[in-house]
């Protein structure tokens, strides 16, 4: 969800596109049309000075003298749009299209007007695609269609359209920022970071671009560069409460609660007591603790910020055993925000285990450990999934990995012994159980100790009778 602070640049960009560029009169006009041309040019001068009422008078007088004057009709439409007379502007753009069918500006402007009106997206898209068919470099057409496709959930085409827009106008930081947002929505974080770098190279003081880059860097694990970007915004945030809220929120999502509170505390009292200030304060107080108060705060935070991945994952972890179905949905939502976050994927798999959906959990966890081979929680959950699926040999492989990663964890040897026991590999089971008993802590592993002590007499008798699968001899 785009924040109000980040929306500013795109709103301004749309306003500029709708009001320009100026449309020069056709060279083919004959001399007997000199007066209409002169009036048209006077209208252009007034238009440039944002005197839209006067510009409209000149355009309409030019059209009275020469009714078939597409440039004047088009500019009349842009003046009417600037005066918020949308129905009249729409009629002017349609007439300009009828007067000059091979011109891209009228359908582009009409498409943009309809796109902004709401509820006429399909019609707007038709006109915008017509404009781009006439002129593939129509900046108005590219930008308006990109935003329409983004609203429709087609992040891939939206990103392609923004790339085309930046190729048309390479020196516009706002375009590069919009392109980065689209690339991020299309889950191409690397491309989004490059676009933000370009935006900041063009306009180092573009706070929206720097803020978004900080959040992308934090999500990618580059805490040092993310912090540098956020620190550089703090000075400006002292005189811009909206920016301060955004910076504090970014610190919070990056797990930098102390920095977030520092930015919040620097706000004037009027900002702290505003609705947004109170929401930020509540979010900062929503700690990831297993208490009723913390859970309630997290629920409220998620209600306000449904894409806050850290809050979603935190509450998902707290609810894993008490409400695994809700936990699963929370981790699913967190993954939708950060699809490559191995910890969130592991939390999702853990919820699947609680729901006894062992096969699904095992498939997912195998992918996780392939991408993140040192993820201890993923290996532990995968071992449990294999054990529940009665895939004891695969479970033993995972338990042994856990034992190497945490040699102080005695219970791993109990689990290895249990898996060997299930396979009928009694000699290996006995060795693992005995290793467990040597390292077990009676205060922590009492239940497992009792189980082993009950099992050992009969296990030893089975081995004496030659029962069970014989251990494989090691190759010489």
The CA angle 128-129-131, to the nearest 5 degrees, is: 65
How much is the pLDDT for 282? 65
The average pLDDT across 274-294 equals 74
Residue-wise pLDDT for 345-361, tens only, equals 999 999 999 999 999 99
pTM: predicted TM-score of the whole model, two decimal places: 0.58
Domains contained in the chain, CATH given: 1-152 (1.25.40.10), 303-389 (1.25.40.10), 394-471 (1.25.40.10)
In this prediction, residue 472 carries a pLDDT of: 63
312, burial (CB in 10 Å: exposed 0-12, middle 13-18, buried 19+): buried
More confident residue, 381 or 275: 381
Residue 156, C-beta contacts closer than 8 angstroms, at least 6 positions apart: 186
Give dist(CA 122, CA 252) in Å, integer.
39
Nearest to 143 by CA among 106, 186, 174, 189: 174
Note the pLDDT of residue 394: 95
Q: How confident is the model at residue 31 (pLDDT cuts 50, 70, 90)?
A: very low
DSSP letter string, 52-103: HHHHHHHHHHHHHH-S--HHHHHHHHHHHHHTT-HHHHHHHHHHHHHH-TT-
């Amino acid at each position: 969800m785009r924040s109000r602070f980040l929306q500013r640049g795109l709103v301004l960009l749309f306003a500029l596109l709708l009001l320009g560029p100026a449309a020069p009169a056709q060279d083919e006009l004959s001399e007997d049309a000199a007066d209409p041309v002169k009036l048209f040019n006077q209208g252009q001068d007034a238009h440039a000075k944002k005197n839209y009422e006067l510009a409209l008078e000149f355009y309409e007088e030019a059209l009275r003298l020469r009714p078939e004057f597409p440039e004047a009709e088009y500019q009349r439409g842009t003046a009417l749009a600037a005066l918020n007379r949308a129905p009249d502007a729409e009629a002017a753009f349609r007439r300009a299209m009828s007067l000059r069918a091979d011109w891209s500006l009228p359908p582009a402007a009409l498409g943009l007007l309809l796109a902004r009106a709401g509820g006429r997206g399909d019609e707007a898209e038709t006109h915008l695609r017509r404009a781009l068919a006439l002129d593939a470099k129509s900046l108005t057409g590219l930008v308006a269609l990109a935003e329409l496709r983004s609203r429709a959930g087609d992040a891939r085409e939206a990103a392609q359209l923004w790339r085309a827009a930046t190729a048309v106008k390479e020196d516009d930081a706002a375009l590069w920022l919009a392109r980065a947002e689209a690339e991020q929505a299309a889950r191409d974080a690397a491309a989004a970071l490059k676009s933000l770098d370009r935006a900041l190279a063009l306009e180092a003081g573009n706070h929206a671009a720097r803020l978004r880059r900080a959040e992308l860097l934090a999500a990618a694990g580059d805490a040092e560069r993310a912090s540098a970007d956020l620190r550089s915004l703090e000075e400006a945030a002292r005189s811009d409460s909206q920016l301060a809220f955004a910076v504090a929120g970014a610190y919070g999502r990056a797990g930098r609660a102390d920095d977030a509170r520092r930015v919040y505390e620097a706000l004037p009292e009027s900002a702290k007591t505003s609705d947004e200030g109170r929401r930020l304060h509540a979010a900062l107080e929503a700690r990831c603790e297993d208490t009723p108060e913390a859970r309630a705060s997290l629920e409220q935070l998620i209600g306000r910020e449904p894409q806050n991945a850290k809050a979603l994952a935190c509450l998902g972890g707290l609810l894993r055993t008490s409400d695994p179905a809700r936990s699963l949905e929370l981790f699913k939502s967190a993954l939708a925000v950060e699809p490559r976050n191995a910890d969130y994927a592991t939390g999702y798999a853990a919820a699947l285990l609680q729901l006894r959906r062992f096969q699904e959990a095992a498939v997912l966890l195998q992918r996780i450990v392939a991408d993140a081979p040192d993820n201890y929680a993923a290996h532990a959950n995968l071992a449990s999934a294999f054990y529940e699926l009665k895939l004891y040999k695969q479970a033993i492989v995972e338990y042994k990995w856990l034992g190497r990663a945490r040699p102080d964890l005695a219970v791993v040897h109990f689990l290895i012994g249990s898996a060997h026991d299930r396979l009928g590999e009694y000699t290996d089971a006995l060795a693992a159980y005995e290793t467990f008993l040597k390292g077990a802590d009676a205060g922590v592993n009492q239940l497992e100790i009792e189980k082993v002590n009950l099992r050992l007499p009969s296990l030893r008798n089975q081995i004496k009778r030659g029962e069970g699968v014989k251990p494989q001899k090691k190759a010489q």
